[in-house]
Amino acid sequence: MAKSQSSISKDKLMWMYETLVLIRRFEEQAKREADQGRILGTHSAIGEEATPTGICAHLRDDDYVLGNHRSHHHCIAKGVDINEMMAELLGKATGTNKGKGGTMHIADATKGMLGANGVVGSNIPVATGCALSAKVQGKDSVSVVFFGDGASSQGSLHESMNLAAIWNLPVLFVCENNRYAESTPFEYAVAGQSVANRAAGYGMPGVTVDGQNVIEVYEVAGEAVERARKGDGPTLIEAMTYRYHGHFGADNPMGYRTPEEQKYYEDKDCIIAMEQFLLDNGTATKKQLEEIDNDAKARVEKATQFAIDSAYPDPSELLSDVYIKYP
Ligand SMILES: Cc1ncc(C[n+]2csc(CCOP(=O)(O)OP(=O)(O)O)c2C)c(N)n1
């Protein structure tokens, strides 16, 4: 599966596997919640678990992550509590945003998850600002922003990459290239057919990585995070990945892609590949992996019950927390 893995500790490998599985089980449950009508729907991250997992494996609570509209996997990989996440999806007062943000605004500043965001491309300058703030304050915190191939042609990315490069800011620009912006194919919409190549225009490294391979993402991210932390500036990473479900809600029409293409990516599934890797090199047994999966299912079930049992926010809370003070 990977080029080199000898330097990765067993704890880190197991954390990555647990995180991949927890995201997958959470997202499956989010779909069930939508099917039962408890929520209107979500932008599913099933199929795309490996990118934030491999990257966040290098991050601390005082590093920043900024997401987009499809961000449950970013939040879980950054350590946000899944009880609070599920409660947020259901609009409950115990949610990360006290039930007033929903799926596209999940945030937990104590974990450095500064927010998902429904406006495509909008968090890229925010992440750049976080990196500037860390630099000005003399901290070695790193800022990471995740965005899609659709967002990669937004002016906000290009303005941010330029500033990050001239100011040598500690930021990772991470494009999760899942090949479609809603139904618009990457090949049609992105000139030059590569997001990573655009880094050259800003004098920063641009790396393409297999976004279905968590170990490869981990290795590429390790170099980029280290570079940012020691003051050597930004990196652009393009992770080639795929979303298994429709753009929003699992039942969106998907006539714009073929069953063969879907199968190609499902055969490269990040969880199956990681399982095989852990078994082949003797890091874990089949039984241990099954226990991890069962544990993830139990945690998601508990989170769902927590969310269902929680109260809705009181109407008197409507205007509170409109502005927050960063801790
Ligand atoms: C500024 C803006 N334009 C359009 C939209 C509508 N919209 C929501 S998601 C999306 C596609 C984004 O595609 P991409 O960035 O590739 O992310 P993906 O959904 O593939 O993860 C669009 C056009 C929006 N939310 N914000």
pLDDT of the chain, 327 residues: tens digit per residue: 554 556 899 999 999 999 999 999 999 999 999 989 899 899 999 999 999 999 999 999 999 999 999 999 999 999 999 999 999 999 999 999 999 999 999 999 999 999 999 999 999 999 999 999 999 999 999 999 999 999 999 999 999 999 999 999 999 999 999 999 999 999 999 999 999 999 999 999 999 999 999 999 999 999 999 999 999 999 999 999 999 999 998 567 788 999 999 999 999 999 999 999 999 999 999 999 999 999 999 999 999 999 999 999 999 998 888 776 666
Question: Who lines ligand 1 at CB under 6 A?
Answer: 69-70, 118-120, 147-151, 178, 180-182, 247
In words, the CATH class of domain 10-317 is alpha beta
pTM over 0.85: yes
Q: Which of ligand 1's atoms lies nearest the C-alpha of 122? A: 1
Query: SS3 sequence, 16-32?
Result: HHHHHHHHHHHHHHHHH
Q: Which of ligand 1's atoms lies nearest the C-alpha of 147? A: 15
- What Cα–Cα distance (Å) separates residue 40 from each residue in 4, 51, 248, 318? 43, 26, 10, 21
Instruction: Residue 146: count other Cβ atoms within 10 Å of its Cβ.
Output: 29
The rounded Å distance from CA 150 to ligand 1 centre is: 6
The rounded Å distance from CA 76 to ligand 1 centre is: 21
Mutate to test the pocket of ligand 1, among 44, 49, 69, 257 (most ligand atoms within 8 A of CB): 69
